[in-house]
Structure formats: C-alpha cells, structure tokens
Amino acid sequence: MTGPATHEFTLDADSELRLDLLLARELGTSRTHAATLIANGNVTVGNKREKASYRPESGDRIVVVLPAPPSREVLAEDIPLDVMFEDEHVMVVDKPAGMVVHPAPGHWSGTLVNALKGRGGALAAGDQGEDRAGIVHRLDKETSGLLLVAKTDVALRKLGADLAARRVVRRYAALSWGHLTSDRITVDKPVARDPRDRKRMAIVTTGRAAKTDFVRLARFESVDLLRAHLHTGRTHQIRIHLASVGHPVVGDDMYGGGGGRRLVELPQHRHFLHAAWLIFPHPVTGESVELRSPLPADLRRSLAAVAESEALLVHPDPLDDLGFYRLTT
C-alpha cells in the first residue's frame, strides 16, 4: 500500500467553522475522523498544533498528514472479464458498468483488480501497491469500455509514459442533454477537487490542465450523441467538461444529468459514457494496437429510444453506422 499523504491548504478568509468541521468539509470525511486526526497530532496550523475547537484565521496554512491505510490483502476473486487483447506484456479489458477499478474504502471486493488477480498470471506492481496492480489508467465505476492493464513493470512504465505524451488515444461515446452550440467544440478548463465537496471534481482555476474535444455525431430531440477525445486524463474529466458548458452526460447524477431516465430508457445509476475506441503503441514492439468496443446492451437500448430506431438494437455496432470511427466526421 502507499505511505502517508499530505494535504495542505491556506485560508483566504477567517473561518466561521471550528477546525474539526473545516477539516471534515475539506477532506470529505466525518467530523469524528477529523477530530481524531487533530488529537493524534496529524494536523498543524501555521506549524502549531491546535485544538479541534480552534477557529482558523485568514492566512492560516493548514497541513494534514493522512496516515497510510492499514495493509489489506487484495483477494483473488473468480469474476468473469471480457478480455479484448492479451499477450505476455499487456491486456485490454472491456470493463462493465458498475465495476470499480481498484479496491478502496467501500469497495474492497468485486473490483477489476480482484478479478485480474483471480485470473492468475503476472501483473505489474510498479510503486502503485497491490491494490492497483497492473492498472495503467482508470474508468469511473459507471463508465464502461476499454481499459489498459500492464502485466510487467516495463510495460507499466512505457504505457504510463505514452499516456503522458498523448500517444495513447482514448475516444468515448457520450450522450449529453440539450444541444451543443456547434458540431465541434473543445473544452480546455482546469480540473481539481471541488473545494466545497471533496467527493466531486470541479472546474478550478488552480487545478490541473484538462482538455477534451467533442464532436456531435447525431442530434436527437433532447440529446446529442458525441464523440469525446481526451487530451488529458483527469478524474471525471468528460463529465465535468460537459457539465461546465451546460450539457451534462445523460444519467450523470453527480453533475446534473441524472433526470429524465425514463425518457432515455437508462437504468438507475448508469450514465451514458462508454470508452469505445482505444489506440496505443505496444509497449514492447511499438506496433500500433487498435481496439473497438461496441455499445453495451443498456446503452444501445437508450440510443435506440432517443433515435426512435429499433434497428439500432440489432446492429453489430451502432457507433460505426453513426460515424464514430470516421475522424472526418
């Protein structure tokens, strides 16, 4: 597992909250947990320890040292996986919606990593820890589609470098509410944790650079079908960027797109976002590997409903018919 983490922030105004309540809001945790961190000496305000009842002032620099989580064995579990590509170096999995990628509080089993360990064989360890063995990049729990897994440390380092250099091409199919102002838009806005809710992401001026290209493939009565191309890979990037321009992903409860499920025949908790197209240089041979994942059944039913076309239900890959894989579109 990874070691302790440090969280630092500076107040730009006097706090109306006690230190424990302020930390609970900042860290997205409970007041009890925040008070425990303070009592154990994990919190300093201006290099000094303060009580939980202390009310921070403007300019106070607050440093929180978050202890490493207790070691927890990642169990191998017999969970079927749809493997789209595999050799001795790398694997590409078609992740189903509802599956968390790696173990974390609240999801210690049933994850992709548990399933990968259940298959046996090598997985890259790197410095990520056992709970993230082999993981090159992540998909949100309710996002389906193609995900890279490294089986050796060499492959993990190379694929990580290729991701950073934008040599790994990731394109997603998304259904968004309303209609974009034009058929092609680029959203280039920095993303970071929402300062008011640590469980969410937000557009934050001091956040990390994030850029997404969107192309409208079809316009229906109340939604657009989009192809999203990631230039960066921030948490919830596509969802945040679409919400920021007033067109959240259909079914996205967290960022304002959760209403109207019956209208689009989308299951509860599912959002319409699918990692459909992946192109990457093989980490050893350097040859280009291109993979496609047709829309899963639940998203196909939703697309057929908004398009009012039952033919889409039986089409081998409706995205192909709608020009998803044609870059001139």
Q: Are 60 and 44 in contact (CB under 8 A)?
A: no
Cα gap 208→62, rounded to integer Å: 21
Tokens, residue 189: 């806005």
Annotated catalytic residues are: 140
Q: Write a three-state SS string for the chain.
A: CCCCEEEEEECCCCCCCCHHHHHHHHHCCCHHHHHHHHHCCCEEECCECCCCCCCCCCCCEEEEEECCCCCCCCCCCCCCCCEEEECCCEEEEEECCCCCCCCECCECCCCHHHHHHHHCCCCCCCCCCHHHCCECCCCCCCCEEEEEEECCHHHHHHHHHHHHCCCCEEEEEEEEECCCCCCEEEEECCEEEECCEEEEEEECCCCECCEEEEEEEEECCCEEEEEEEECCCCCCHHHHHHHHCCCCECCCCCCCCCCCHHHHCCCCCCCCEEEEEEEEECCCCCCEEEEECCCCHHHHHHHHHHHCCCHHHHCCCHHHHCCCCCCCC
